[in-house]
Amino acid sequence: MKSKERVLAALRCKKTDRIPWVPFVGCHAGALIVVTAQEYLKSEDLMVKGLQAAIERYHPDGIPVSFDLQIEAEAMGCALVWAEQNPPSVSGHILNQGKTLDQLPPLDLKAGRIPLVMNTNRRLRKANPDLALYGLITGPFTLALHLLGTDIFMKMFDDPDAVKRLMEYCRDCAIAMAEAFIEAGSDVVAVVDPMTSQIGPDQFQEFVTPYVTPVFKAIRQRGALGSFFVCGHAQQNIVAMCECTPDNISIDENIPLDYVRDICVPRKISFGGNMQLTSVLLLGTPEDSQRNALACLEVAGETGFLLAPGCDLPYGVPPANLEAVARLVLDPYEREVLKAKAATKTSTDLLDLSDYGGTSDKIIVDIITLDSEACAPCQYMVEAVRKVTPEFEGIVEWREHKIKYRESLVFMTSLMVRNVPTICIDGQIVFVSRIPARDELIAALQKRINEKLRLKIARRSASVYILGKKGDEGSKKIRAHTMKAIKELGADVEVKEVTDENDIAAYGLSPVMLPAVVVARYQVKSTRIIPESSIIKEWIKGI
Amino acid sequence: MKTPIPVLLLTGYLGAGKTTLLNHLLQLPGIRARKIALIINEFGPLGIDGKLVAPGNYARFELNKGSVFCICIKTDFIRTLETIAREVVPDLVIIEATGVADPCDLSQIIDSPNLRDAFQIGANVCLVDACGFTAVAAFLRTAPRQVMWADGLVINKSDLVPSSDLDSLGRILQELNPVAPRTVVSHGRIPEEFLDGLTHQVRLAPVPETPLEGLVSVSLQTDGVVNEADFLAAIASLNGSLLRLKGTVCFKNRTRFVEVIHGRVSEKDPPAGLPKTAFTAIGWQIDKAALHSTFHSCFQYDTRP
């Protein structure tokens, strides 16, 4: 499969030979050719050069032509302030500086840097016919914020009609930009609307859905595919985003990937993301980056997913980190080695899952974290557990598993934990990505203690099978002796007589061996969970 | 090991008066006596906040580049704090956070491995605009989140609202954040003792993803008319559950622009060109459907005279 074909197939939720890789290289391409973000974003030649450098080094299946959400606002007259290592920011919101919406002309595609970006798109298209090109446009809500400023939130209450009129204008701008990108050769148009993370689903449906849905329709009508990008804490809006009918949803590390997968897959919408930009790609090592990519791949599944960073790559991301991700994606052997390295270590050193079955007297709390010293929610989760455990006077033991260590990562996988931080009690996932309040944690532990007590009681139950021919005197005597023994011991034992020849044969006994007695003790090993085979193995060893 | 530099975090929606409060803070004797580094991180009219802050003996950093993306704020923020730790070494860092900054992200940045030894949050103070909070909080998710994460709440612009509104706002803030001490001020003039009395709470309890189950907004429209008596009775029946209502209402014989703030009803001539009934109501601790149906039941579908 060629790269473009692979990206388009994945966006359409079709099978691909491997997961496509789409590094969101924006001003980071400037760093690759040693120019500032400002120099890079203002020069067609530098953009082409920087993006070609990124294509050569990161072997992407798709790449954005630009990642600058200020282009449209600038073309409309909003003042920008430039930075050396970031995209520019809007410093003047024209609708707050005397202009009215009626005075704004339709978006002029010849204004500002729009022609520069479109020419970059054309040149990249020509040079890379097999690569998927993403045209990134400013989402209508984010553009409205650029034009009006944060007054928009108050206006949603004060004058909702004015906000809706503004959104209509921004919708038209978005459609015009999308068409320009498609005309210039983009295969995918990404509607990037990060500011929607600031509102809830009700407001989203009222102020965003009616204006973004036509943009995706327009993109499709022109033969391209549409992706809806969001970043930040936007979990609450993923369903509403899907309702806008994009082909794809792309998210950052603030939203768990499995959460988005579970919403997108049944709706036949592909999804992408969500490698960690700061903690891993910017500040981590190549191995951290590979592990993060692998974790995304394992959560996402094999179809309808595109591996990507959550958002615009920071200018200063070490190229070695992205090159390592590219190797992992392109080379199945490298993936297997990474998985195997982790598995070998873990199976010998760490996993003792037999304790979880109910045989141990202790309750084991596993906290899976990024690293409680580096991640605040992880730290709070560990502290929450640490504070509560002494109250159980030694019955509850806890341990932290930092997924930066490979054995912990495998431990996490074997417990089917998909998010950090997570609390597991006796191997069962109980709190995912949220720190339980004290009482809640105590209640969960108490529940497990009660459950174990019930298991212990249940474990006492057993059966005595008396195998013999029907009406056989020997069997009758055995039954009488058994009943006497049970009575004297006060035990909780069931007595069953087995007389059918086939049933007896199933015990491995022939008729000449009768009468026979088989004793069976039942152990309830788990309830209401699906134990992993590694756990069941431990049980079987104990039989 | 060196003692970490305390960080005073100021949050609050744009327009709540953070810059005024900051100027006031910088004049307080206890603050003036210390070596201060100031980080201004505003989304919006760039640099304006920076210019509004009175000049003084402190190092000032503006953090408003590329602020649409959280990632840009994060990387800029980390870099700025590293510079401050290396080059300024102040006694106190004051961060004026953007009105759309998620306080949980800010705390995480300060707790990141390369910064946690150098800095620690002394207190997180959230400024609440007595006039606008209940309207904005229904739409902007970070507004209530900032309240929930705060160690101290400063209710500002108290001179602009009746005391009954302050009581009502106080009840909402109490629900959102029962542990943070509150002070009611105007023009950002907080007493120094208030700041001194604050301690940073490490949040053990989760801050939910959708923070304000209790704060709901509904928009209603109709081409018909609204029964005026029923409409007023609906407002009265909602009592404390109706925080705000605003919009045009077409009654049988007249069309009015109605505004309700914490139960107080006012009305004026409607703006030109808006003949239809269209209003938004913000409720507190009321089911959204119930709020909607309370007003919807006042609609009559006979044609207007």
Residues A377 and A431 in one domain: yes
Residue A478, pLDDT above cutoff 80: yes
Indicate yes or no: CB of A435 within 8 angstroms of CB of B206: yes
Range with the lowest mean pLDDT among A34-48, A260-274, A439-453, A521-535?
Answer: A521-535
| CA distance, residue B197 to nearest chain A CA (Å) | 24
Give the helix, strand, coil percentages of chain A, each rounded to 5.
50, 15, 35
Residues A367 and A284 in one domain: no
Which range of residues forms the domain containing residue A501?
Answer: 462-521
Q: What pLDDT, on the 0 to 100 scale, is given for residue A348?
A: 39
B65, B104, B106, best to mutate vs chain A, most A CBs in 10 Å: B65
Residue A340 lies in a domain: no
Residues A313 and A439 in one domain: no
Q: What is the ipTM of this complex?
A: 0.73
How, if at all, do strands A422-425 and A363-369 pair?
Answer: antiparallel
> Which chain B residues are Cβ-neighbours of A383 within 8 angstroms?
202, 204
Range with the lowest mean pLDDT among A34-38, A149-153, A522-526, B178-182?
Answer: A522-526
CATH of the domain at A395: 3.40.30.10
Q: What is the C-alpha R_g of chain B?
A: 22
How, if at all, do strands B255-261 and B264-268 pair?
Answer: antiparallel
- Residues 237-266, chain A: which have Cβ within 8 Å of B? 252, 254
- Is A275 or B98 the better-scoring residue by pLDDT? A275
Task: Using a CB–CB cutoff of 8 Å, tell me whether A177 touches chain B.
Answer: no
Residue A528 lies in a domain: no
Which residue on chain B is closest to A91 by alpha carbon?
A: B46
| CA distance, residue B132 to nearest chain A CA (Å) | 8
Indicate yes or no: CB of B65 within 8 angstroms of CB of A81: yes
Residues A393 and A273 in one domain: no
Read off the tokens for A303.
């179809």
> Which chain B residues are Cβ-neighbours of A90 within 8 angstroms?
46, 68
- Residues 440-459, chain A: which have Cβ within 8 Å of B? none
Q: Give the CATH number of domain B215-300; options: 3.30.1220.10, 1.10.12.10, 3.40.190.10, 3.30.1490.20.
A: 3.30.1220.10
Give the span between the Cα atoms of A165 and B244, in whole angstroms: 23
Residues A304 and A245 in one domain: yes
Which residue on chain B is closest to A433 by alpha carbon?
A: B206
Give the span between the Cα atoms of A91 and B48, in whole angstroms: 9
| CA distance, residue B204 to nearest chain A CA (Å) | 6
- Is A86 or B98 the better-scoring residue by pLDDT? A86
> Which chain B residues are Cβ-neighbours of A436 within 8 angstroms?
206
Residue B219, pLDDT above cutoff 90: no
pLDDT-based confidence at residue B305 (cuts at 50, 70, 90): very low
CATH of the domain at A71: 3.20.20.210
Which residue on chain B is closest to A203 by alpha carbon?
A: B139
Q: What pLDDT, on the 0 to 100 scale, is given for residue A123?
A: 98
> Which chain A residues are Cβ-neighbours of B66 within 8 angstroms?
83, 86-89
pLDDT digits (tens, 9 = 90+) for A246-262: 999 999 888 889 999 99
pLDDT digits (tens, 9 = 90+) for B242-253: 888 988 899 988
> Which chain B residues are Cβ-neighbours of A438 within 8 angstroms?
204
Read off the tokens for A336.
């297997």
Indicate yes or no: CB of B139 within 8 angstroms of CB of A153: yes
Mean of the pLDDT values across residues A523-528?
Answer: 70
> Which chain B residues are Cβ-neighbours of A375 within 8 angstroms?
108, 111
Residues A442 and A362 in one domain: yes
CATH of the domain at A467: 3.40.30
- Is A133 or B215 the better-scoring residue by pLDDT? A133
Which range, A29-38, A365-374, B290-299, is most confident? A29-38
Residues A420 and A314 in one domain: no
Residues A96 and A67 in one domain: yes
Percentage above 70 pLDDT, chain B: 82
A532 neighbors A416 (Cβ within 8 angstroms): yes
Q: What pLDDT, on the 0 to 100 scale, is given for residue A374?
A: 56
Residue B63, pLDDT above cutoff 80: no
Name A121's Cβ contacts closer than 8 Å, sequence gap at least 6.
A65, A133, A135, A181, A184, A185, A186
CATH 3.30.1220.10 residue ranges of chain B are 215-300
Could you check whether the bond before residue A87 is cis, i.e. omega within 30 degrees of 0? Answer: no
> Which chain A residues are Cβ-neighbours of B14 within 8 angstroms?
149-150
A356 neighbors A388 (Cβ within 8 angstroms): no
> Which chain B residues are Cβ-neighbours of A194 within 8 angstroms?
68-70
Give the span between the Cα atoms of B32 and B57, in whole angstroms: 8
Range with the lowest mean pLDDT among A366-370, A525-529, B17-21?
Answer: A525-529
Mean of the pLDDT values across residues A450-476?
Answer: 79
Residues A283 and A382 in one domain: no
Mean per-residue pLDDT over chain A, rounded = 87
> Which chain A residues are Cβ-neighbours of B74 within 8 angstroms?
277-278
Q: How many domains does chain A have?
A: 3
Residue A46, pLDDT above cutoff 90: yes
- Is B245 or A47 the better-scoring residue by pLDDT? A47
A315 neighbors A350 (Cβ within 8 angstroms): no
Residues A109 and A222 in one domain: yes
| CA distance, residue A253 to nearest chain B CA (Å) | 10
The SS3 of residue A166 is helix
Task: Using a CB–CB cutoff of 8 Å, tell me whether A165 touches chain B.
Answer: no
Nearest to A150 among B44, B210, B280 (CB): B44
Give the span between the Cα atoms of A274 and A499, in whole angstroms: 62
Residue A341 lies in a domain: no
Nearest to B69 among A194, A236, A383 (CB): A194
User: Phi and psi of B44, rounded to 5°?
Assistant: 130, -145
Indicate yes or no: CB of B65 within 8 angstroms of CB of A376: no
Residue B102, pLDDT above cutoff 90: no
> Which one, of A139, A245, A155, A122, lies nearest residue A195 by Cα?
A139
Residues A131 and A153 in one domain: yes
Indicate yes or no: CB of A160 within 8 angstroms of CB of B219: yes
Give the span between the Cα atoms of A10 and A18, in whole angstroms: 9
Domain at B5-196, CATH homologous superfamily: P-loop containing nucleotide triphosphate hydrolases (3.40.50.300)
pLDDT digits (tens, 9 = 90+) for B153-168: 999 999 999 998 899 8
* Three-state DSSP string of chain B: CCCCEEEEEEECCCCCCHHHHHHHHHHCHHHHCCCEEEEECCCCCCCHHHHHCCCCCEEEEECCCCCCCHHHHHHHHHHHHHHHHHHHCCCEEEEECCCCCCHHHHHHHHCCCCCCCCEEEEEEEEEEECCCHHHHCCCCCHHHHHHHHCCEEEEECHHHCCHHHHHHHHHHHHHHCCCCCEEECCCCCCCHHHHHCCCCCCCCCCCCCCCCCCEEEEEEEECCEECHHHHHHHHHHHHHHEEEEEEEEEECCCEEEEEEECCEEEEECCCCCCCCEEEEEEEECCCHHHHHHHHHCCEECCCCC
Give the span between the Cα atoms of A539 and A459, in whole angstroms: 14
pLDDT digits (tens, 9 = 90+) for B285-301: 888 888 999 999 999 86
Name the β-bridge partners of A81.
A89
- The DSSP code sequence of A249-279 is EE--TTS-HHHHHHHHGGGT-EEEEEE-III
Mean of the pLDDT values across residues B109-131?
Answer: 84
Indicate yes or no: CB of A160 within 8 angstroms of CB of B68: no
Q: Which helix (H) or strand (E) holds A516?
A: strand A516-521
Mean of the pLDDT values across residues A382-405?
Answer: 82
Which residue on chain A is closest to B101 by alpha carbon?
A: A198
Residue A257 lies in a domain: yes
Give the span between the Cα atoms of B139 and A199, in whole angstroms: 6
Give the span between the Cα atoms of B125 and B195, in whole angstroms: 8
Indicate yes or no: CB of A376 within 8 angstroms of CB of B107: yes
Provide the residue type at A533 as one letter.
Answer: S
pLDDT-based confidence at residue B50 (cuts at 50, 70, 90): low
pLDDT-based confidence at residue A463 (cuts at 50, 70, 90): confident
pLDDT digits (tens, 9 = 90+) for A50-87: 999 999 999 999 999 999 999 999 999 998 888 888 88
Mean of the pLDDT values across residues A272-278?
Answer: 88
Residue A282 lies in a domain: yes
Hunting for tokens 């339980």 — which residue is that?
A436
- Is B295 or B214 the better-scoring residue by pLDDT? B295
A542 neighbors A535 (Cβ within 8 angstroms): no
Read off the tokens for A200.
């809830």
> Which chain B residues are Cβ-neighbours of A237 within 8 angstroms?
none
How many CB atoms lie under 10 A from the CB of residue A352? 10
Residue A534 lies in a domain: no
CA distances, B123 to each of A538, B195, B200 (Å): 50, 8, 5
CATH 3.40.50.300 residue ranges of chain B are 5-196
CB pairs under 8 A between A and B: 173
Residue A99, pLDDT above cutoff 70: yes
> Which chain A residues are Cβ-neighbours of B288 within 8 angstroms?
202
| CA distance, residue B76 to nearest chain A CA (Å) | 9
The SS3 of residue A63 is strand
Q: What pLDDT, on the 0 to 100 scale, is given for residue A310?
A: 84
Give the span between the Cα atoms of B104 and B102, in whole angstroms: 5
Give the span between the Cα atoms of A259 and A419, in whole angstroms: 10
The SS3 of residue A469 is coil
Which of A412, A429, A456 corresponds to the end of one domain? A456
Which of A456, A479, A505 corresponds to the end of one domain? A456
> Which chain A residues are Cβ-neighbours of B140 within 8 angstroms?
150, 153, 198-199
Could you check whether the bond before residue B55 is cis, i.e. omega within 30 degrees of 0? Answer: no
Percentage above 90 pLDDT, chain A: 47
Residue A314, pLDDT above cutoff 80: yes
Residue A391, pLDDT above cutoff 90: no
Q: Which helix (H) or strand (E) holds A463?
A: strand A462-467
pLDDT digits (tens, 9 = 90+) for A166-179: 999 999 999 999 99
> Which chain A residues are Cβ-neighbours of B114 within 8 angstroms?
283
Residues A467 and A451 in one domain: no
B71, B216, B292, best to mutate vs chain A, most A CBs in 10 Å: B71
Task: Using a CB–CB cutoff of 8 Å, tell me whether A361 touches chain B.
Answer: no
Nearest to A384 among B100, B204, B288 (CB): B204
Name A187's Cβ contacts closer than 8 Å, sequence gap at least 6.
A4, A7, A8, A62, A132, A133, A134, A224, A225
Indicate yes or no: CB of A92 within 8 angstroms of CB of B113: no
Handedness of CA A355, A358, A362, A366 (dihedral sign): positive
Provide the residue type at A542 as one letter.
Answer: G
User: Phi and psi of A79, rounded to 5°?
Assistant: -75, 145
Longest dimension (CA), chain A: 107
pLDDT-based confidence at residue A131 (cuts at 50, 70, 90): very high
Task: Using a CB–CB cutoff of 8 Å, tell me whether A463 touches chain B.
Answer: no
> Which one, of A267, A181, A264, A193, lies nearest residue A224 by Cα?
A181
Give the span between the Cα atoms of A325 and A294, in whole angstroms: 9
The SS3 of residue A396 is strand
Name A177's Cβ contacts closer than 8 Å, sequence gap at least 6.
A72, A107, A109, A114, A135, A137, A138
| CA distance, residue A155 to nearest chain B CA (Å) | 9
> Which chain B residues are Cβ-neighbours of A146 within 8 angstroms?
68
Give the span between the Cα atoms of B83 and B77, in whole angstroms: 10
Which residue on chain B is closest to A149 by alpha carbon?
A: B44
Give the span between the Cα atoms of B203 and A239, in whole angstroms: 29
Indicate yes or no: CB of B71 within 8 angstroms of CB of A436: no
A307 neighbors A272 (Cβ within 8 angstroms): yes
| DSSP, res A314 | P
Residue A9 lies in a domain: yes
